[in-house]
Each structure stands twice: as C-alpha cells, then as structure tokens.
Amino acid sequence: MSDSFHKRLFTVLASVFALAVAALLLWVGRVIFLLLFAAIIVAILLYAVSHAIAQRLRLPRALALVVFLVLLLGIATFVFRLEGPNVLQQFAQLQSDLPVAFHRILTETQQTTWGRWLLAQSPDTGQLATGARFALTRIGGIVLTSVTAIAGLAITLLLSLYLAAEPLLYYRGLRRLVPDPLRPVLDTCVASVRKALLWWILAKLLSMTFVGLLIGIGLWLIGVPLPGLLALIAALLTFVPNVGPLIALVPAVLLGLANSPMTGLLTLAVFAVVFLLEGYFVTPLLERNLVRLPPALTLLLQLLLAAIAGPIGVALAAPIAAAVIAICNTLLSD
C-alpha cells in the first residue's frame, strides 16, 4: 500500500473518531450547551441595551453595562420588597386552593349522569383524585424550591454577564477554530443569528407583557381568585410557545370552575381571546423584523428537545429554531 493511501485512511479514521467524540460530548453535556445558548440570548439583549445606553449617554460600553445592571438590580430589589411577600403568599394560597378546587369539581361531576359515565371510563376515581391532589400540591413547591432550576438560572446569568462584558474575546477564540476561507461565512451567520435572536427576545418580552396584562384584567373582571398570580404565571409561560399557554390555563380554569361553571367557561374564554390576539395580531406585528417561525417546525423541535433535554429543551426550542432558520437563510442566500 502507498503512503498516500495510509494518509487518507488515517485522515478518515481520525475524522470519524473526532466526530464520534464530538457527538458524545454534545450528548453528555446537552443541558450545559442549552444553558450556554440561553446565556448567549441574555448576553445579546444585555449587549444591545448597554450599547444603546453608551451611545445615548456617551459612556464606555462596559460602564453602560454596569449602570444598566445596577439600575435593573435596584428595580428588582424595590419590586421584590414591595410585592415579594405578597407573591409568595399567593403561591402558598394557590398550592392549597388548587386541590380543594379539584376535589369540588370532582364531587360536582359525580352528581351528574354524564359525569358518572365519564368517570366510569377513566381510571379509578380515588386514584385519580389522589394523583391529581399530589400533582397540584407540588406546583408551589416546584416553583419555590427547585434547586436545579435556581442553579441553572444562576449559571445562565453568570455566563451571560461574562459574554456581554467581553463578547469579542470569546468570539475571537471561536473564530480561530474555523479555517480562514470559512471565517467570512461564520461572521455573516453570527451576525444573522444575533439579529434574529435579539428581535426574537424583544418580541417575546413584549408579547409576555401583553398576555400578562390582559389576562390579569380579564380574570379580575370575571372574579377568578388570585388574578395577579395567574396572570404572572401565564406571562412567564408565554415564553414557551404551544405548550406554555396550555399549562397556564389549567390552574386558572380549575379555580374558575370551583367558583362556578360559568366562571370556568369565562376563564377559558379569556385565555382563548388573549392568546388568539397574541398569536394572530401581536406576535405577527412584532415579528416583522424577525425570522418567522413555522408553528409545526417549532412544535416538532419542542418534542425532540423534550426527549433529549427535558423542560429546558422545550423552553429553548423556539430561539433554537430561529437561529437555525437564520443560518439556513444566510447560507442559501449566498
């Protein structure tokens, strides 16, 4: 065998081995890479805001970032001191009210003919009630005491601060790993992804604010308990398309039905109207400068990432889809 054949064989084997190692590292560290992607999104937002402040006030960008963070921390501290105890109390009340609401709905359902037939087709009523009561009572605890979520959030925020403070330092390191002929393509793709993610997060924040305000007002008008907390939950879960609104709907409808069937129907109507407005008017209006995400593609990516990385994969499916589409558009347009 010639030396050229041995060199080609060695190159192929080395490439296969490198790809296998890379795939193994991606699989083992899939949650870490997703947290890094989340940190990049936050860093893009922090960089854009600090850059705007630096231009407006004629400050160095690093100083503008510090000013913005101090201002943001001050506002967060003030809001928490003002409303924090009330929110925690409402979470505790929600944790105790939801099982009571479910038990009341189950009791009233058993008193009707269609309800008894429906329950007869379902699993054992006692088992269903016990399982649902356990799940509902865990909502407050999961939100308040999830150490994993708090640790992931802390890591994400810390990484985002490092990336926003010195983005060029990390990008230059990444750029050196790419061959010289491909570096212009990398620059174009990164710029496209940065723009797509920036507009995506801005549009999502405005959409979450819109949903929270309207649902809070709607639930307050129809007399659903804890309208502010339910609106906050709905606003936060709006970050996750497709799945988030359905999860936010469950506690609100349960509390509404426990009040009266009409209140439950009105609660469902409030959520339907608000999310229809958000999906067909607000989001398309905000997405004029954004890569439009096909709903089917987003849902499929959510299912895939849910199987791979769990809830964090579901939450980040939409921005990942936006980044992938931005890269594909950039490569196909060249």
Averaged pLDDT, 291-298: 73
Measured CA to CA, the distance from residue 90 to residue 107 in angstroms comes to 25
- Better pLDDT: 105 or 57: 57
Structure tokens at 152: 């992931």
Given this model, what pLDDT does residue 136 score?
47
Q: pLDDT tens, 139-172? A: 444 444 445 667 778 888 899 999 998 898 889 9
> Residue 288's pLDDT is what?
59
What region does 151 belong to: left with phi over 0, alpha with psi -120 to 50, or beta?
alpha
Token pair of 181 as six digits: 């002929």
Q: Phi/psi of residue 321, each to 5°?
A: -60, -40
pLDDT of residue 269: 92
**Cα separation, 333 vs 145, whole angstroms:** 48
Express each pLDDT in 91-134 by its tens digit. 677 767 677 676 776 666 666 665 555 556 555 545 445 544 54
The one-letter amino acid at 187: D
> Mind listing the pLDDT tens digit for each residue in 8-21?
777 777 777 777 87
pLDDT at 120: 60
pLDDT at 273: 92
The pLDDT tens digits for 66-97 are 899 999 889 888 877 876 677 667 767 776 76
Structure confidence at residue 111 (pLDDT): 65
Say if CB 294 and CB 305 are below 8 A apart: no
pLDDT at 193 over 70: yes
What is the mean predicted confidence (pLDDT) over 210-220? 92
Contact 28, 20 (CB under 8 A): no
pLDDT attached to residue 139: 46
Lowest mean pLDDT among 24-38, 51-65, 96-110, 252-266: 96-110
Identify the CA nearest to 137 among candidates 87, 96, 100.
96
Q: What is the rounded average pLDDT for all residues in the chain? A: 79
The DSSP result for 136-203, as a single string, is HHHHHHHHHH-HHHHHHHHHHHHHHHHHHHSHHHHHHHHHHTS-GGGHHHHHHHHHHHHHHHHHHHHH
DSSP state of 29: T
pLDDT at 179: 85
